[in-house]
Structures are given as C-alpha cells and as structure tokens.
A and B are shown apart, each in its own frame.
Chain A
Amino acid sequence: MDADLLQRFNPEEFYRHFLADGLRPDGRSLREPRRAELQRKALGSALGSASLRLGRSSALAGVRGELDEIGRIEVSVDLPPLCSALFREKHRALGQMSFLSKTLTEVLNLQSVFDATQLVCHGEASWVLHVHIICLNYDGNAFDLCLLAAIAALEDTDLPALMKEPGTEAERLAIAPAESEIVAEARKLVLLARPLPVTFARMPGGQWVQDPCAVEESLGASVSLCLVDGRWLVFHQGGGADANRFLEELMPVARTSTEKLAKLLDDP
C-alpha cells in the first residue's frame, strides 16, 4: 500500500511500523523534542513580545499593560482557523482555547512563579498584564508552545515609567519622561521561577513519545507536565494510561528536558 494512503487511512498501523524501530516518521527518536527557535521583541508596539517556533508549530505572544487595583497576569490564547484544519469549527477550538487560557493564567500567577508586588505602582494602582498568544501554525503540542511563548514575552517585558497627568488625579502613561515627575519607575519584569512544560503522547503500542505532532496527539492520550520549582502540575486529558507507572516513567524524562528548555529561554 502506498505510504501516504496508509498514513491517511490507518495512522495507527503506519506509526506501529516506525515505533517498532524506535523512530517516528519525521526522523526523531521517541524522546526527542523538535527544534525550537525563539525570537524576542517580535512586535514593536507591545510592552514585551516573543515569537516561538517548535518544529512546524509557531506562535506569537504579545504583552499589553493596563492599570487596575489588583495586579495580575491574564493570558488569552487564540487558535484561529488559520492555524489548522482541526479548528475550522469554532466550537471545537473554544474548548482547547479556554483550557489553555485558564491554565496558563493560573500557572503564571502562581506565587512561586511570579511576584505580583512588582506590578504595584504608585498608590493603589497596579499593572494588569494581558498576554495575548496567537497560534499561527498548529502542529501538535499547543501547551508547550503557548507557555514558552508567554514566558519569553513576559521576560522581555519592560514596564514603562508613569507620571501623574497634569491637572487630573488619574495616572497616565509617560512615553518620554525626560523632565516630568516620575511617579513609578520603569522596570523590567522578573519571574521568580520558570514553569517549564513537557508534553507526552501515548502511542498505540503503549510507548510514550515526547513533543507530539498533531497526528501523534490524535492517536492516544496526551499528558502535559509542568515543572515549577521542583514540583509538578499534571494535565492529562483523556485516554488510558497505566495508573501507577506512567508518572514515575515520565517525570524523570521531563526533568532532563526542562534543562534544555531553560537554556533556550536563557539565550539572548
């Protein structure tokens, strides 16, 4: 049978042939992640931004600031129909989008990751940072892609200096605060600890592969592990996994991969 036809109509069988040799169709081994490319300051108009490519997936993250009483980070993820045929129906995409938005908001607002007191400016006003992430091309593993893009964008963020607007009580953004009376200093955002994600997918034969592409994700369960300061967050949506074993098997592998991710984020 033609290889393309087999891949389309019976992807499980197609993958079984490759997994028997410990490889995947794109040439990677089972535990090998895709090549990642990170570019900071991708958007000129945002406070901070980053563009990340993971293999064929790519996403763009931008940070916008607002003033409010309670300082926090809010993440919104957009998976437009542009990125993949899977999200042609808005209904389907909304589930994934709301899961990612809610999860990333929680993860980035954790006390061990981000100290909200650095967002406080003069008096009662604080910054609220809106991180918008748009996936431009989806080839599996949206969790890793979006979280890494968000971290890179936040680390790139420069909070501008603020001055009191003359004549009113309200605070306004100062673009060039050369002579004006600065009420809040310009500063760079600092993350206390980076939440580093690793995602695995379970293949029909029972093996776990790291950094799955879109086809591999559709074949079985997918688990996203997020390492924050030595502790774990686990998101396992659907599909079977041998209850006692899989965490013990996957966590050590994830720990070693997060070191490579940290290096990627450290590069200027």
Chain B
Amino acid sequence: MARRDGRSANQLRPPQVELRPLQRADGSARFRFGDCTVLAAVYGPKEPRTRHRELCDRCTLDVVVRPRVGIPGPQERQMEALLARQLEYVVLATEYPRTQISVIVQMSCCDGSTAAVAGNAAHLALLDAGVAMKATAMCVALGVTWEALVMGEDGDLGKMVKLSPEPVIWPLGVDLEASSGNKGQLDTYRLDPTELEEAQCDALISLSMDGSRNQLVSHISSGAPLDATIWSSCIEAADKSCKACLDTAFSRVSRDAGTARRRHCGTVDRRGAGAVRKGSKRGWQFATG
C-alpha cells in the first residue's frame, strides 16, 4: 500500500546524521528522519550542580527536553522520563562515579515519530561525547492501523502478519531483499509514520532496540490495545529496521566525518614537515577512518 510520500508500509524515511553541529558542547548530534529533526547535546561527565545529586558509585543522568515552541509541558516531561530510562540502560554509569551527564534535547522540526528521533539523537550525541556505552541502540516508531486488520481477513485475527519483507531504507540504495508475498497483510503497520499518518493510526509504538544483542531497550504503546501476535511481529519489524538504520546511519557518519577529519587534521603545519595540526581537542577517532 503506497503512502502519501510514496513509501511502502515497511520503509523508513532516509536517516541523516550530523555530528558535532555545536562546538561548545562535549558532544552533539542532529538526527533526521525525513522532515523530523531533533538536535541533542551532551555536557559531561562533569561535577554535579548540587551535592545531593551525587551518587557514590555511578553517574547521574539528567535529561532535558525542550519543545519546538513554548515552555516544556507534561509531554516533554514524559519524554524526559522515557529517554532517561533508555539512556540509563545504555550508558555504563559505573565508569563515571560522582559525576553528572546532562543530555539536552531540542526539537527542531516535528513530523511524526518524534520520540524515536529524539532517542536516536541522544544516543548519537552520547557517542560524540565519548561516553562509555554498552550498546548502540536505535529507535524507530511504528503505527498500527486496526481497521486494516478487521477488514479483509477471514475473521481469524489470530493468523496475523508473519513479517516477511525486510525493511528498506529509501532511497539510499541499500538493497535488502523484499519478498513478494503477503501484500494484503502489509497494511497492518506503517514504519516511521509522519504526523498525518500518526493521526490516522490506531496505535503507535515507539521501540528502541539494541541491534547487536537483540535486546529491546524500551517500547511504549499508545492508542488501541493489540493482539499478542501483532506485538511480536511489530518487535520483529523494529528489530530489522533498527539494524538496517544503524548500519546505514553509521556508515554515513563515518564517511562524512572521515572527510571532515581529513579537512581539519590532514593539513601539514608550516612549522615543520611531518607535524600535523591536531583536529578537535578530544581527538575523536573513527574505526573506519
């Protein structure tokens, strides 16, 4: 089923990553899924602002979410709580005792799946800051439409989607095999919904997966309750799309940062041959170079 922007049901919008857009922060990242953009900055590990926030064996993780316009309200508080729990799982807090790590998330442009994009931006900003993490988790959002389940089935809702097609990221040219069958059953969920699609969906699930270990970091559903089989197929879908998203986003990041590093670090200082001007003071290296 074609969506308004031409994607199929299991296609993500192309992810775009920009690392270190902010020079003063310890780490920062801007993440986009299509039009939805979120900027995240990390300050820390640093001394906690107040003494009583200090924990003797681990760091305190502080998350602040700022909306695009206006003052933060209950929705922002909820996203802060959710992000804090996600990041607490991922960050190796025991490596930084008695310190505080602040993560500030700024919504730039909201076009659906904001919680997922915010989670991704926060993870990448932590990576940029060099904070020790035990996993790289990616978040993705799914919209489930209930009407499509009710119509056109034989009344046997137990036989719901067995996820067959692989998620495809469009149009980056990452080719994953898409299987041809089960066209009618694809209507049940939409990966990475835009704001208009979110309004039409009956249930919205935001999932965060740690691809390497096949661990689900968090997921929140809102809207109508769903069958158990649909849950497992949604988790499968998110698993595959998170892995695909991770691969493409990180390969892009390495490629872009590699060129940036060559621009900054590759010039030879006039003072002496062989002396290379250092790039950023943190000297952050990419594995792929």
Instruction: Mark each residue of chain B from 53 to 84: 1 if its CB lies under 8 Å from any CB of chain A, else 0.
Output: 00000000000000000000011011011101
- Among A233, A240, A247, point to the contact of B225 (Cβ < 8 A): A233
Q: Is B210 an interface residue (CB 8 A)?
A: yes
A-B CB contacts (within 8 Å), total count:
109
- Among A102, A237, A243, point to the contact of B239 (Cβ < 8 A): A243
- Are B89 and A248 in contact, with the CB atoms below 8 A? no
Known: A95-B81, A229-B225, A231-B226. A237 touches B74 (CB 8 A): no
Q: Is A235 an interface residue (CB 8 A)?
A: yes
CB neighbours of A106 from chain B (8 A): 222-223
- Are B77 and A239 in contact, with the CB atoms below 8 A? no
Q: Is A18 an interface residue (CB 8 A)?
A: no
- Are A239 and B226 in contact, with the CB atoms below 8 A? no
Known: A96-B81, A243-B214. A233 touches B235 (CB 8 A): no
CB neighbours of A247 from chain B (8 A): 228, 231-232, 235
Closest B residue to A221 by beta carbon equals B89
Q: Is B92 an interface residue (CB 8 A)?
A: no
State in angstroms the CA–CA spacing of A233 and B221 once bound together. 6
CB distance from A94 to the nearest CB of B (A): 4
Q: Is B156 an interface residue (CB 8 A)?
A: no
Q: Is A238 an interface residue (CB 8 A)?
A: yes
- Are B89 and A238 in contact, with the CB atoms below 8 A? yes
- Are A232 and B78 in contact, with the CB atoms below 8 A? no
Closest A residue to B57 by beta carbon equals A9
- Among A227, A230, A238, point to the contact of B88 (Cβ < 8 A): A238
Identify which of B77, B88, B226, B227 gathers the most chain A CB atoms within 10 Å of its CB. Answer: B77
- Are A98 and B217 in contact, with the CB atoms below 8 A? no
State in angstroms the CA–CA spacing of A229 and B226 once bound together. 10
State in angstroms the CA–CA spacing of A125 and B51 once bound together. 53
CB neighbours of B232 from chain A (8 A): 244, 247-248
Chain B residues 12-41 with CB under 8 Å of chain A are: none
- Among B214, B220, B231, point to the contact of A235 (Cβ < 8 A): B220
- Are B213 and A240 in contact, with the CB atoms below 8 A? yes
Known: A236-B219, A238-B217, A244-B214. A98 touches B225 (CB 8 A): no
